[in-house]
Structure 1
């Protein structure tokens, strides 16, 4: 995660649901599109945050393992300019290893109209790097990406 957060909250040492409650309080005070970096050592934080984000429309942009048992979560308040785009087609490739997600995404994108958006969901550990590199090579425009669950990434690709 290279993005600089609007605010950081360190809740290490506090058990669940304290990290989620702290995140909710701070996110509610942020403007749409602003971000919170939440640092927690509670093993249940990831599941709590991803479930909460689905219900609220906030986005967990990424996670990062820190020293010890700590993790940092970058959370974006819903409604910003970088909000999740509307997809015309969804391709769920969970359980398929790389390069399967890229191969299938290319097939779908080839049949789509310019400007249409493909939502690609993948849990392949290499998909984040592979799809970002593939898009940079000109295959499609990577409009938005985020981690929607533990190890599950969503990519929004616009056909050029």
Structure 2
């Protein structure tokens, strides 16, 4: 959506905004990398979110995928704008077990009102080997905060 790449401070503000959300803190999310149109995030696999020992429940996998995809969408918005998920679908393809999950979010198509975004979620084992466990496709609604007041 932006004609010029967002500044480093814009990306830092995006990370601060995302990590301030109670759900992000509950899940223990952290940014590994962020740039215009691409975000990589990780989440530890904690027993409180598992439905059997060491295997995450699908809702936690969905949440990480959604955060990564929509944060990527937010990374291309101009200053003073934010976004929110309006639709998402996930395809689970393997168990989410290991030491952490890693999600790589990306922008598929950015427009003024809506941004289509996606993420691939990987289970990471103790040796660092990644296994694709889910793919998410989402639509984020872009919101001009000044116009919303």
Do these two structures clear the TM 0.5 threshold for a shared fold by scoring above it?
Answer: no
Q: Highest relative contact order (Cα 8 Å, sep 6+), 1 or 2?
A: 2
Q: TM-score, normalised by structure 1?
A: 0.25
Would you tell me which structure has more strand in proportion to its own residues? 2
For the pair shown, which has the larger CA radius of gyration, 1 or 2?
Answer: 1
TM-score, normalised by the number of residues in structure 2: 0.26
